């Protein structure tokens, strides 16, 4: 779960409030843990242990946070902005998850404007979950063309404006198991290609260029999720999500097509409070032709996290498979600083054959700084290395997967 739906974010923390009213691990545990808020308390001469009392009840219950942010990604460069978070519970029952609205505004050094609004609302006892993802982008973006044979020299820029409107409703049908449906709209307009070398016919032109595009469809969503926290999954947790999407012309789509998304994550607890995490992510176009800007691609997952070491959109295709693994460990005993080692490999289908022909691996290391010890929220800074000269930093709020 991340503060932005677009890009990978590093937060400059002004204030952070506990989003739950109890301490699942006990007050004594949290008195021996430290986060950036504790350090802020010490800097202003306050005792950080006043955040915890012996009853295990937090002494602050503020659910609204506004903070400035600074982000860096390969695709956006540096971008300052403002982020807002509202968190609440629809019921006082302990087993009701925390609901949230996340939003903000940022403007990048590449003159990109990004305005996301994301929501997750849980009903009492987690019987229903309502999910929303709204975005507006004014977004120059690099593209390289289809498949894995492209090089950094194939890069050129596509400029566009974009609106996303996704809404889903899921109902619990068994423990940790949800089924539901939703609607997805992706609309791009004022699409232009920039910096294309003279005489070059881009893959976008070969695939079918237009100065606007619309995807509009309905989806079936099947979810299995044992995580208590999407921000910081623990050993033994599992997440599996399958979405079947059908885009329909009578709903306004440019072309009818069907696709399936498969997202599976598994977390294995290891000795010394370490963890090994695995992620399988795939989007397969079953038939038809999605608009070029709606194709599966590197970093085009919901939170733009696949393929660290590569720029968002570095590889695209009608079919995508991505595999990732990450080893997470602590560095300081008080939980303030941790680290990760990760690797990934992905393949995107080629334009001519529609087959997987090239595997693009990546690997890297990362640093974790504890922002909030109660919610286990980390500020994540990773450096990834890919093939053919691709490399770069990525920041995140919460674990990548």
**pLDDT of the chain, 401 residues: tens digit per residue:** 233 333 444 444 444 333 343 445 666 777 778 888 888 888 888 887 777 764 444 544 445 666 677 777 777 777 788 877 777 778 776 677 778 888 888 888 888 899 999 888 889 888 999 999 999 999 889 999 999 999 999 999 999 999 999 999 999 999 999 999 999 999 999 999 998 988 899 999 999 999 999 999 999 999 999 887 777 889 999 999 999 999 999 999 999 999 999 999 999 999 988 999 999 999 999 999 999 999 999 999 988 899 999 999 999 999 999 999 999 999 999 889 999 999 999 999 999 999 999 999 999 999 999 887 877 878 888 999 999 999 998 877 778 99
* Contact yes or no for 81/107 (Cβ under 8 A): yes
Residue 211, exposed/middle/buried by CB under 10 A (0-12, 13-18, 19+)?
exposed
What's the fold here for domain 9-21+61-397?
Porin (2.40.160)
Contacts of 153 (CB under 8 A, 6+ apart): none
Are the CB atoms for 242 and 260 separated by under 8 Å?
yes
At 26 the pLDDT is 64
> Quick one: pLDDT at residue 94?
65
For the chain, which residues make up each domain, given as ranges?
9-21+61-397
Q: How far from the centroid of its chain's Cα atoms is residue 387's Cα? A: 23
Global pTM? 0.88
Q: Percent helix, strand and coil across the chain, each rounded to 5?
A: 10, 50, 40
């Amino acid at each position: 779960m991340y503060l932005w739906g677009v890009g990978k974010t590093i937060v400059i923390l002004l204030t952070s409030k506990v989003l739950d009213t109890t301490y699942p691990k006990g007050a004594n545990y949290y008195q021996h843990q430290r986060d950036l808020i504790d350090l802020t308390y010490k800097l202003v001469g306050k005792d950080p242990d006043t955040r915890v009392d012996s009853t295990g009840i937090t002494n602050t219950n503020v659910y609204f946070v506004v903070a400035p942010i600074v982000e860096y990604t390969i695709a956006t460069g540096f971008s300052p902005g403002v982020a807002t978070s509202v968190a609440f519970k629809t019921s006082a029952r302990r087993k009701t998850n925390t609901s949230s609205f996340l939003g903000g505004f940022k403007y990048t050094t590449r003159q990109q404007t990004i305005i996301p609004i994301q929501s997750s609302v849980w009903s009492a006892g987690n019987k229903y979950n309502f999910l929303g993802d709204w975005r507006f982008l004014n977004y120059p973006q690099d593209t390289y063309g289809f498949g894995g044979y492209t090089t950094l020299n194939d890069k050129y820029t596509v400029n566009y404006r974009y609106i996303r409107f996704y809404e889903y409703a899921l109902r619990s049908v068994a423990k940790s198991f949800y089924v539901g449906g939703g609607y997805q709209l992706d609309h791009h307009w004022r699409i232009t290609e920039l910096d294309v070398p003279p005489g070059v016919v881009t893959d976008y032109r070969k695939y079918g260029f237009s100065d606007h595009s619309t995807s509009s469809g309905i989806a079936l969503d099947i979810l299995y999720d044992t995580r208590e926290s999407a921000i910081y999954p623990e050993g033994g947790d599992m997440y599996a999500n399958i979405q079947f999407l059908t885009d329909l012309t009578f709903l306004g789509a440019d072309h009818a097509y069907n696709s399936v998304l498969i997202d599976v994550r598994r977390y294995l607890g290891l000795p010394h409070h370490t963890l090994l995490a695995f992620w399988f992510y795939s989007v397969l176009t079953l038939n038809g032709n999605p608009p070029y800007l709606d194709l599966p691609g590197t970093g085009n997952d919901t939170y733009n996290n696949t393929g660290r070491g590569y720029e968002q959109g570095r590889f695209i295709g009608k079919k995508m498979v991505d595999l990732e693994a990450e080893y997470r460990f602590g560095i300081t005993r008080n939980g303030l600083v941790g680290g990760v080692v990760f690797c990934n490999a992905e393949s995107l289908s080629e334009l001519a054959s529609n087959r997987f022909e090239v595997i693009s691996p990546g690997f890297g290391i990362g640093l974790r700084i504890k922002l909030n010890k109660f919610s286990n929220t980390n500020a994540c800074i990773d450096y990834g290395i890919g093939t053919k000269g691709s490399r770069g930093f990525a920041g995140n709020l919460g674990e990548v997967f």
